């Protein structure tokens, strides 16, 4: 024990000399960007003020109360400010403010991708960009590499800088969109207001702060949109046609079960993901079949847990190599079909709302609705489901949740809901009906909301019979429904019978 300590014992004068030499060396080898870039980054990270007014999907002709919020952003080349999409979603008025500057400047959204929670803002007043050096993009950092987080969290007006490490890189569900994309986990302190802030390594932007874990079981656990996703987003923004992020419109199952692998004739040296569902009408419809096994994407082997190695010793969802493409590009797939190995080039698809029965949450749009016989009918969307609050998975109607993951078909592209009943003489007996999924109108299966409107408008007299898939009926006298329209709009202060 003493032998190891003695190695470090030195005389006072010699020790001081070594300390001085060490300090000199540290100063000499410190990169030139250290002091200058920190100052430049401070100037390029801005605070964003937002007034937002989202529509009320429980009352689709009105809006919720206007809310005031704030976030963070970073100035990039081309006089663009990058931030989170959720910071400016449903915004009515946006202002930005530079660090140490009391002035606020009007800003506008120039491009937005809700699926990866990123947005670009522009400021028309050129004064805003004076003395700002744009932040440059860096490369994807290594795990355990130290990162600095710049932003404007609640609790003060000044710029906040926290440090931590990048602890994990893998696919995560993005809270804003519910989509599954590559993300970085960091342990730097992240709080409300940090959203959209810069994650920096050596003076370069390596990510955009996205969300924090708020379940109370983890401390200082936050996530960033990593730089490779940011680069893809910026490529889309520069494109004349916003192409978005690609998909393969299918669902797969892991193959960790030995029995499952044996059932499909896989050898011990083969691994992959079992295709269980393919979307009709997509770019892979009729090309890939249920029962096929995805062995590799662009030459990258898919493991039985549906992961791929994206960097030496690091794995994530095989979706990683799909995300690197743009819609319309070719993706090479190695398949196992009935024991025979195939190689196919398929077209990367775009994620279309019509692929699912319940479209994902939409922003900066007004709800669709129609009132007939005092009954408010709407298409089922994630916007409506999420009006049941943050715990919507437990609070929303079970029927809504049951169809949420279903694919659309040519015969059924949307789910129609009788949301509520505006009590009137025409709908006596149904006043307490709400959140009721309607399957047919006068015996005709409903295809989508436009088809539903056609069925209502094509009726001239008699009765309208709305039924669900169990046979329960709501019957409305058509002549009385037309006669009471004006009174219902007046009594319930509704501006019109339907959305534009």
Positions marked catalytic: 86, 117, 195
First to last CA, the chain: 82
Strands (E), 197-313: 198-201, 204-212, 222-226, 246-247, 250-254, 273-278, 293-297, 300-301, 307-311
Q: Which two tokens stand for residue 227?
A: 């730089």
The CB-based long-range contact list for 141-148 (8 Å cut-off, 24+ gap) reads 141/166, 141/184, 141/201, 141/206, 142/166, 143/167, 143/168, 143/169, 143/314, 145/201, 146/201, 147/186, 147/188, 147/199, 147/200, 147/201, 147/206, 147/207, 148/188, 148/199, 148/200, 148/201
Separation between Cα atoms, residue 241 and residue 6, nearest integer Å: 69
Separation between Cα atoms, residue 132 and residue 384, nearest integer Å: 42
H/E element, 185: strand 180-186
Q: From the CB of residue 478, how many other CB atoms can be counted at a distance below 10 Å?
A: 17
Q: How far is CA 449 from the centre of its chain?
A: 25
H/E element, 344: strand 340-347
């Amino acid at each position: 024990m003493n032998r190891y300590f003695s190695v470090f014992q030195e005389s006072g004068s010699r020790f001081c000399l070594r300390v001085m030499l060490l300090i000199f060396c540290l100063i000499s080898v410190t990169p030139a960007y250290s002091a200058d870039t920190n100052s430049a980054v401070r100037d390029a990270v801005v605070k964003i003020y937002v007034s937002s007014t989202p529509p009320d999907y429980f009352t689709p002709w009105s809006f919720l109360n206007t809310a005031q919020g704030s976030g963070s952003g970073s100035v990039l080349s081309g006089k663009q400010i990058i931030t989170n999409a959720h910071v400016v979603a449903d915004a009515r008025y946006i202002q930005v403010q530079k660090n140490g500057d009391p002035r606020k400047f009007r800003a506008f959204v120039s491009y937005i991708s809700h699926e990866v929670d990123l947005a670009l803002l522009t400021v028309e007043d050129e004064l805003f960009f004076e003395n700002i050096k744009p932040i440059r993009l860096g490369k994807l950092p290594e795990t355990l590499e130290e990162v600095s987080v710049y932003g404007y969290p609640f609790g003060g007006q000044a710029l906040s800088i926290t440090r931590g490490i990048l602890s994990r890189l893998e696919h995560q569900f993005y809270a804003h969109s519910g989509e599954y994309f590559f993300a970085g986990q960091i342990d730097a302190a992240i709080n409300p207001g940090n959203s959209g802030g810069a994650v920096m390594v050596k003076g370069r932007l390596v990510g955009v702060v996205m969300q924090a874990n708020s379940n109370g079981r983890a401390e200082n656990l936050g996530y960033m949109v990593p730089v490779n996703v940011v680069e893809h987003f910026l490529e889309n923004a520069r494109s004349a046609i916003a192409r978005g992020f690609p998909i393969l419109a299918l669902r797969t199952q892991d193959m960790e079960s030995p029995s499952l692998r044996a059932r499909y004739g896989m050898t011990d040296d083969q691994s992959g993901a079992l295709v269980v569902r393919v979307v009709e009408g997509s770019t892979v419809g009729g090309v890939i079949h249920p029962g096929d096994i995805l062995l590799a994407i662009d030459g990258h082997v898919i493991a039985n847990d549906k992961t791929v190695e994206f960097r030496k010793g690091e794995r994530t969802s095989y979706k990683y190599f799909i995300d690197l493409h743009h819609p319309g590009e070719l993706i090479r797939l190695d398949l196992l079909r009935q024991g025979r190995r195939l190689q196919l080039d398929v077209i990367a698809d775009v994620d279309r709302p019509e692929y699912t029965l319940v479209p994902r949450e939409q922003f900066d749009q007004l709800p669709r609705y129609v009132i007939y016989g005092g009954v408010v009918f709407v298409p089922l969307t994630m916007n409506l489901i999420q009006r049941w609050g943050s715990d919507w998975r437990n609070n929303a109607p079970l029927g809504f949740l049951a169809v949420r993951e279903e694919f659309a078909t040519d015969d059924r592209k949307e789910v129609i809901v009788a949301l509520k009943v505006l009590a009137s003489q025409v709908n006596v007996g149904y006043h307490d009906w709400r959140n009721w999924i309607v399957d047919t109108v006068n015996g005709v299966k409903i295809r989508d909301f436009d088809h539903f409107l056609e069925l209502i408008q094509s009726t001239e007299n008699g009765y309208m019979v709305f039924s669900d898939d169990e046979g329960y009926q709501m019957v409305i006298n058509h002549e009385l429904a037309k006669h009471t329209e004006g009174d219902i709009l007046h009594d319930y202060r509704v501006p019109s019978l339907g959305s534009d």
